[in-house]
Structures are given as structure tokens and as C-alpha cells.
Structure 1
Amino acid sequence: MDSSLSSPELQRFLAQEKEKAMVNEMVAKLTSECWDKCITSTPGSKFSSSESSCLANCAQRYLDMTAIIMKRFQSMQ
């Protein structure tokens, strides 16, 4: 195996890229799930107050649940 492929710098870079991909995937899923749940009609130039509130609550619940799941996985290792 090429020693440059196992260098610490490369391993850190790969870990960072994997984290970026996971964050991007989470944001896309959050956006899709919350949009489908909270935006029930054709949106205008602004969200209604109920849509804004729903989106904020949905995103917060999603992030809270993700944090709980991550802690659970970390405790299993």
C-alpha cells in the first residue's frame, strides 16, 4: 500500500470530507421533511407566521433528535 494513502493528513482530510457530506445530507433531509410538513400551499414571497413557526419547530426537533441519536451511537462504542 502506498504510504501517502495512509498519511495522517490524508486521513484527517477524508474524515473532514465525510463529515461535510453527512452535514449536507442532513440539511437536505431536514429541508425536505420540514418543507413537506409545514408548507401546505403554494408559497408566496414570504412565509406566513404559522409556516415560519412550523419550520423553526420542525428544524429544532430534527436537530434535537439527531443529537440524541449521535449520543446514543457514541455511547455504544
Structure 2
Amino acid sequence: MDSFDQLSASEKAEASELQRMIAIEQQKAQFQAQVHTFTDVCWDKCVDSPGSKLDHRTETCLVSCVERFIDTTLTITNRFTQMVQKGAH
């Protein structure tokens, strides 16, 4: 018999809540890792040599890079949501 089966209802609820919180924190960590990767990619792509301020070309490149990242992330998220919803029905 599984040890989870031996827990009281309140202990099971607490364990489930803890699992949910851990999953949320894992998602946050994954998002942060993606942001760091994205920052590195855009920096390497757009910034030739850092200075006291961004020139117009660098600023335009960074804005474009960020916008493409957001567009791509939203597309992937929406597609994943659709797949999950189809699987739930």
C-alpha cells in the first residue's frame, strides 16, 4: 500500500497543495531560465560593444528581438493550451 493512501484527508490536501506550489515555483524557474537565455541571445545578436547608451540600431534590434520572443512565446503557449484543452475533452 502506498504511504500517500495512509494519510488523512487534511494531510492529503496539504500534500496536494504543496505539490501545486512546487509546480508553480518550477514554472517560475523555467520562465526565468528562458528570460536569461533570451537576454543572452538578444545581447549577443544586437550589442557589438557596450557603451554609455544604446545607439539607434542596437535599440531597434533589441526591441525587435524582444517582440519576436514575446510573439513566439504567446504562440507556443496558446498552442499548448489548445492541446491540453483538446486532451481534456
TM bin (shorter chain): 0.7 to 0.9
Structure 1 length-normalised TM: 0.81
1:53 corresponds to 2:60: yes
Q: Which residue of 2 aligns with 1:34?
A: 42
Structure 2 length-normalised TM: 0.72
Q: Percent same amino acid among aligned pairs?
A: 38
Higher relative contact order (CA 8 A, sep 6+): 1
State the structure with more CA Rg.
Answer: 2
Q: Over aligned residues, Cα RMSD in angstroms?
A: 1.9
Q: Which runs of 5+ in 2 are unaligned?
A: 85-89
Q: Which aligned runs of 4 or more in structure 1 are off by greater than 4 angstroms?
A: 2-6
Q: Which runs of 5+ in 1 are unaligned?
A: none
Q: Which amino acid aligns with 2:83?
A: M
Task: Give 1:8-47 correspondences, 5 Å limit.
Answer: 8-39=16-47, 41-47=48-54
SS at match of 2:29: helix
Between the aligned partners of 2:34 and 2:19, the Cα distance in structure 1 is 23
Between the aligned partners of 1:9 and 1:62, the Cα distance in structure 2 is 32
> How many residues are treated as equivalent by the alignment?
76
Q: Which residue of 2 aligns with 1:73?
A: 80
